Amino acid sequence: MNRSLITQAGRLLFACTLCTPAFAASGEAALSGSVADAQGHAPAHAQISLQDASGHAVAQTTADATGHFRLDHLAPGTYAVTVEAKGYGAVTRVATVAQGTVPEPLAVVLQKDSTLDVTVNAQRLDRARNGLQPEVGASVYRITQTDIDNSPQGANTPLNQVLLQAPGVANDSYGQLHVRGDHADLQYRLNGIIIPEPISGFGQSLDARIIDQVNLVTGALPAQYGYRTAGIVDIRTKSGDAGNGGTIDVYGGSHQTIQTSADVFGSSGPFSYYFSGSLGENNLGIEAPTADGSPLHDHTRQGNGFGYMSYLLNPLTRVSVMFGATSNQFEIPNTPGLTPVYTLNGQSTFNSANLNETQSELNNFAVVALQGTNGEALDYQIALFTRYTRTQFNPDPVGDLIFNGVASQDFHSNQANGVQADFTYRLNDRHTLRAGLMFEQEHAVFDDSVAVFPVDANGNQTSDQPFTVQDSNTRTGYLYSLYLQDEWKLAPKLTLNYGVRYDRMDAYVQAGQLSPRIGLVYQPTNATTLHAGYARYFTPPAFELVSDSTISKFNGTTNQSLTSQNDPVKPERDDYFDIGITQRLTPALTVGLDAYYKRARDLLDEGQFGTALIFTPFNYQYGRVYGVEFTSSYHQDNVSAYLNVAYSRAQGKNIESAQFNFDAEELAYISNHWVYLDHDQRITASFGGAWTLGMTTLTADAIVGSGLRSGFANTDRLPWYAQVNLGVIQRFNEPMIGKFDARLVLVNAFGRVYELRDGSGIGVGAPQYGPQRAIYAGLTRHF
């Protein structure tokens, strides 16, 4: 017994010796600790190494037989301490040492599972990356992978329809979305990195399958966000950090729909990956121009792929690569029974049901990012990005001339390259500083071959022999952005985020703006959050413009512009105000109310002013947009549901650019009247939910709208519409087969026929109907 007491006393004395601060040479520090396994035993010959914040090895040692170690003569600072032993996975801890002292000893426990440490490091870096993107003062709506999987179509839901679950998002034709009364103006980010917008097209550029979580950030945005500001679609992609696996999915049904998809993910040591791809076709590629449930000439083939790879250079730093490709082919649907207008080589008859117009689209992007943290105060991410996009519209060389007097083969491409850098520095417990920059160069190519007829001064055809006008040009533009902001905790329940950003564009016009931002969040209780904010916005026009030389080339032809005036399109400048409250009524039920007002100068809008799908930007001199949103969500055990209702009003006055797209009467009216924007929808609602019973999930979602604008100068609107989708998901886990899901989906369950567009209104090219009732089924195999 005495011997045991002596032994314990000796061990205690040895431990106390290690814990006691020792003298260090002037300007130096020391670090000590112990290593043990899960049972408390000291592994043999455990190796300890130190790396500084840049990843350089600065010291190393070996633990003694009892598992203790000590490192002397260290420079004061923060280090990554990596402990390794044969048969165990490496463990990394972050330690800070100060001059002349020894910190509390590190107690390191090694695990047999070698993947655990890599996962912990990846999660640490994920948290650091999320800390680069503040949301203070903004309105945020979050949709998780589980929410998507439990929706009727699951991962086969197009991304635009996923976003329709958020409040204040209005549906439009060609897959367009309008958030809070803006025309598109959405910025897409993958893991915090901006993906430049592609040329306007029919297809979606990103697949919902890649989403781990998507946040729609709107309102008065922090200074970090610029360029496109109606909404930030911030996607956190899936990765392979959590383990190995994948899925294979087959989905099809009505409109001869068939789509196959697959993804695979995993990790090996510091390397992780996620890849996904899909390929499909159907006979409802574009919204039908008639109420016929089986539109003519509407076949599409679509494919996309995405990849994400990351490699941990050291416990505090990783490099990642993302890339994606989308290739879509569309037939342009026909409207039967149209009356011919022109004569071609003596021919003045043509069955419009036999028109053969097509469009192909390609969108590729790639990103290389370096992201890291020093474990305490500094986080950063630096990314290089590139994006190439193109569209090719092929006309019907005979039919288009007979019906429109124009047959235009249009090739447009755009190459964007740039760099984005974001930094976060936690100055102290009250102040978190953020700064960053973005530079982007765009190079656009326009190559159009346009067949037209000659006309007289009154617009009458003077010959049935067409001739071709070649219209080719290029343009290079630049965008520059800088921002600086401070997240200041005024009190434990009160946070102020204030900052400023500078944006400049050098494209069709040169302009810039210094934009202050301020946001305030107050949490009087754990269940209540209030926010308010102000933002000054600077929004460059999309890089799809028509030059003065293009307009003059078609004078005296059937493609002559309505007017000759074409003042340059300017960037939009806004003052934006937002205030809202979120209240958790019960642990399962949360509701929110948000109001906003935007006062705009040079308000940007876009329209389709021709037969090809080419959206042309233009400005209203004045603009005003305001609205209010109600949102609610419920999550309780096996039941989840949401309900959003939004009121919005968006108006503009006096068109001051790209006037060649409008006739004189409409220009005169808009110059003296506030008119509704073509994408204005007074009431927008969405709701849905899922109920899981054992291995079965019943699910539904729906959208409701009061109708987009129509008629002369948008003085009319389309009727109310509603679409309800239903689904049932059955999950299996069979001994011989494994895990798989079966899904049955009913789109537009009540079969309501409704118009998204009727072909009238400012910048509206053709009528489009929403989808009619359709049935789809899918099978997903998990491995």
CATH number of the CATH domain containing 92: 2.60.40.10
Of 467, 503, 378, give the one whose Cα is nearest residue 125. Answer: 378
pLDDT at 23 over 50: no
- Write down which residue in 97, 113, 129 finishes a domain: 113
Identify whether residues 662 and 705 lie together within a single domain: yes
Residue 95 DSSP SS3: strand
- Which amino acid is present at 680? D
Whether pLDDT at 199 is above 50: yes
If asked whether residues 89 and 230 sit together in one domain, one would say no
Supply the pLDDT for residue 706: 96
Same domain, 194 and 333: yes
Query: What was the pLDDT predicted at 27?
Result: 58
Q: For residues 690 and 542, which has the higher predicted lDDT (pLDDT)? A: 690
Q: Is the pLDDT of residue 87 over 80?
A: no
Q: Alpha-carbon distance 462 to 558, whole Å?
A: 10
User: How are beta strands 528-539 and 510-525 bridged, if at all?
Assistant: antiparallel
Say whether pLDDT at 28 is over 90.
no
Please check whether residues 214 and 291 belong to one and the same domain. yes
pLDDT value, residue 480? 96
Asked whether residue 11 is domain-assigned, the answer is no
Residue 123 inside a domain? The answer is no
Beta-strand relationship, 186-190 and 231-237? parallel
Most confident of the following: 34-43, 194-203, 265-274? 265-274
Top pLDDT among 308 and 54 is at 308
At residue 104 the predicted structure's pLDDT band, cuts being 50, 70 and 90, is: confident
Residue type, position 342, single letter: Y
Same domain? For 100 and 222 the reply is no
Q: Between 727 and 136, name the one with better pLDDT.
A: 727
pLDDT band at 610 (very low <50, low <70, confident <90, very high): low
Q: Is 539 helix (H, G, I), strand (E, B) or coil?
A: strand
> Which residue did the predictor score with more confidence, 115 or 750?
750
Query: Parallel, antiparallel, or unpaired for β 106-110 and 29-37?
Result: parallel
d(CA 639, CA 641): 7
Q: Which residue has the higher pLDDT, 624 or 733?
A: 624
- Look at residue 18 in the predicted model and tell me its pLDDT: 35
- Kindly report the three-state secondary structure assignment for every residue of 713-730: HHCEECCCEEEEEEEEEE
* 2 domain residue, yes or no: no
CATH of the domain at 571: 2.40.170.20
**Residues 455-471 as b or e (16 or more Cβ within 10 Å = b):** beeeeebeebebeebeb
81 and 144, same domain (yes or no) = no
Distance, CA of 550 to CA of 564 (rounded, Å)? 11
Contacts of 613 (CB under 8 A, 6+ apart): 174, 200, 201, 202, 359, 391, 393, 765
CB 40: neighbour CB atoms within 10 A?
Answer: 8
Q: What is the pLDDT of residue 15?
A: 36
Poorest-pLDDT segment among 70-79, 266-275, 399-408: 70-79
**pLDDT number for residue 738:** 85
Of 30-34, 438-442, 641-645, the least confident: 30-34
How many of the other CB atoms lie within 10 Å of CB of 768?
Answer: 20
Return d(Cα 416, Cα 444) in angstroms, integer: 9
- Are 73 and 168 members of one domain? no
Which of 134-138, 176-180, 271-275, 745-749 comes out lowest in average pLDDT? 134-138
Residues 73 and 160 in one domain: no
Question: Is residue 115's pLDDT more than 60?
Answer: no
3-state helix, strand, coil in the chain (%, to 5): 10, 55, 35
Tell me: do 147 and 26 sit in the same domain: no
Q: What value does the mean pLDDT take over residues 706-722?
A: 95
CA 764 to chain centre: 26
Return the pLDDT at 19.
Answer: 36
Q: Where are the beta strands (DSSP E) in 453-550?
A: 467-491, 494-506, 510-525, 528-539
715 occurs within a structural domain: yes
Residue 52, in any domain of the structure: yes
Q: Which two tokens stand for residue 440?
A: 């982007």
pLDDT at 4 over 80: no
Query: Using one digit for the tens of pLDDT, what is the confidence trace for 59-73?
Result: 889 999 889 999 888
541 shares a domain with 468: yes
Q: Name beta bridge partners: 539.
A: 572
Instruction: List the one residue out of 441, 570, 572, 417 whose CA is nearest residue 508.
Output: 570
| Structure confidence by residue, pLDDT tens digits, 653-710 | 999 998 888 889 999 999 999 999 999 999 999 999 999 999 999 999 999 999 999 9
pLDDT at 21 > cutoff 70: no
- The mean pLDDT of 17-23, rounded to a whole number, is 36
In DSSP terms, 643 is beta-bridged to 632, 687
Would you say residue 722 has pLDDT above 90? yes
Residues contacting 149, CB < 8 A, separation 6+: 155
Domain boundary among 113, 147, 165: 113
Whether 764 has a pLDDT exceeding 90, the answer reads no
Predicted confidence (pLDDT) at residue 436 exceeds the cutoff of 90: yes
Q: Are residues 155 and 66 in the same domain?
A: no
H helix runs in 618-770, sequence order: 664-672
Mean pLDDT of the chain: 89
For residue 629, tell me if it sits in a domain. Answer: yes
Q: How confident is the model at residue 614 (pLDDT cuts 50, 70, 90)?
A: low
| Residue 596 sits in the same domain as residue 704 | yes
* Domain carrying residue 39: 16-113
Domain count, the chain: 2
Quickly state the pLDDT bin for 232 (edges 50, 70, 90).
very high
Percent of the chain at pLDDT > 90 equals 68
Return the closest-CA partner of residue 149 out of 778, 771, 783: 778
Answer whether residue 718 is part of any domain: yes
Instruction: Indicate whether 124 belongs to any domain.
Output: no
Is pLDDT of 8 > 50? no
